[in-house]
Amino acid sequence: MIIQLEEKLSDKKKEDIQSKIKGIGYQATEVKTQKANYLVCIGKKEFDIRLIGSLDGVSDVHRVSDSYKLVSRKWKVEPSRIDLGDGVIVGEGNLALMAGPCSIESEEQVRKVIEHLVATGVKIMRGGVYKPRSSPYAFRGMGMEGLKMFNRLCRENGIKIITEVMQVSQIEEMRDYIDIYQVGARNSQNFNLLDALGAVDKPVLLKRGMSGTIDELLQSAEYIFSHGNEKLMLCERGIRTYENAYRNTFDLNAIPVLKEKTHLPVIADPSHGIGLRDYVSAISLGAVMAGADGIIVEIHPDPHAAISDAEQTLNFGESAALFSKLKSTYDFLHKLN
Ligand code: PEP
Ligand code: MN
């Protein structure tokens, strides 16, 4: 059960509500987010929910039986939108396009990508400065120095930044230089990191774990939300299966299923989802047709020379064609609905 408390509720009224909940055998956890105060209540007993709904200080109450609650569509029917400022909104009704290299490599590379994004009307640039790499000897990113350069060039051109945060200590150092924290597949269940991201007032894109189920992704999202951060979006980036004709198996099924289970925006990552550039466009279009709210895609001025994920990276000609097809597909779908 979730109870939304009225704004500016007195301590006395809150205590009365809490003791009523205890009285019916439920355990309440208080959750304060940017938007509201909630009591998330766990218990098994059947009771008449109107008993709670009629209490002084309660503005809304719902029974939510899922293991994730605040992110569930059973609690919030309306889709959530995330406002990044300057008219950039992620969530239903807006197609979010995020594009950029796997890794930030140099000032020249960032400049060229920004120029391409500006020319094609893409408002959000991706690029890792802390890279999770399977081998410790591979390039692991330019770190904060790279992020500061990335930030300076994006700010000069009105472009928003999404980049991966790998550990708790990076949250604070990155905060003023980014617009969206990306939680990578390898950290999808790093619960300490998720808790800490719940405490910041900045949007988070949470990726599905490589072998994570949809339920696990939603429970990870609940960690962030229940620690106070409602500015949250999910990302399907492919899962590991027995199939080895491509890097990962992009789980198209996950898109409509997530859209039904949660009110959070759902973004597709076709680059890691299939891992081969020739198929990235087809998977992107499939994801948007299936209901994705946006795409995060790897592009590079010279894909073959990309330091990481070269095989799945698009060049500017390919990405411009893709953006334009995605926009027409999205508009077409919205006219149908
Ligand atoms: C990335 O976005 O470059 C990345 C490392 O993604 P993932 O966490 O999905 O593997
Ligand atoms: Mn990558």
Tell me how far apart the alpha carbons of residues 40 and 30 are, in angstroms, rounded to a whole number.
6
Q: Does residue 183 surpass a pLDDT of 70?
A: yes
Is the distance from the beta carbon of residue 212 to the nearest atom of ligand 1 less than 6 Å? no
Considering every ligand atom, which ligand is closest to the CA of 208?
A: 1
Confidence of residue 307 (pLDDT cuts 50, 70, 90): very high
- State the number of CA atoms in the 13 A half-sphere of 43 facing the CB: 19
Strand partners, 205: 182, 233
| Residues 208 and 237 sit within 8 Å (Cβ to Cβ) | yes
Q: Note the pTM of the prediction, 2 decimals.
A: 0.97
Q: Out of 237-241, 248-252, 331-335, which region has the weakest mean confidence (pLDDT)?
A: 331-335
Instruction: Give the rounded percent of residues in the chain with a pLDDT score beyond 90.
Output: 97
Is the distance from the beta carbon of residue 76 to the nearest atom of ligand 1 less than 6 Å? no
Is the distance from the beta carbon of residue 295 to the nearest atom of ligand 1 less than 6 Å? no
Q: Does residue 156 surpass a pLDDT of 80?
A: yes
**What are 241-252's pLDDT values in tens digits?**
999 999 999 999
Tell me how far apart the alpha carbons of residues 31 and 118 are, in angstroms, rounded to a whole number.
40
Helices (DSSP H) in 72-124: which residue ranges?
Answer: 107-120
**What are 92-150's pLDDT values in tens digits?**
899 999 999 999 999 999 999 999 999 999 999 999 999 999 999 999 999 999 999 99
Residue in 238, 234, 328, 248 with CA at minimum distance from that of residue 289:
328
| Residues 255 and 212 sit within 8 Å (Cβ to Cβ) | no
SS (H, E, C) 26-82: CEEEEEECCCCEEEEEECCCCCCCHHHHCCCCEEEEECCCCCCCCCECCCCCCCCCE
| Residue 285, token pair as written in the block | 């279009």
| Ligand 2 (single-atom ion) residues, CB below 5 Å | 102, 309
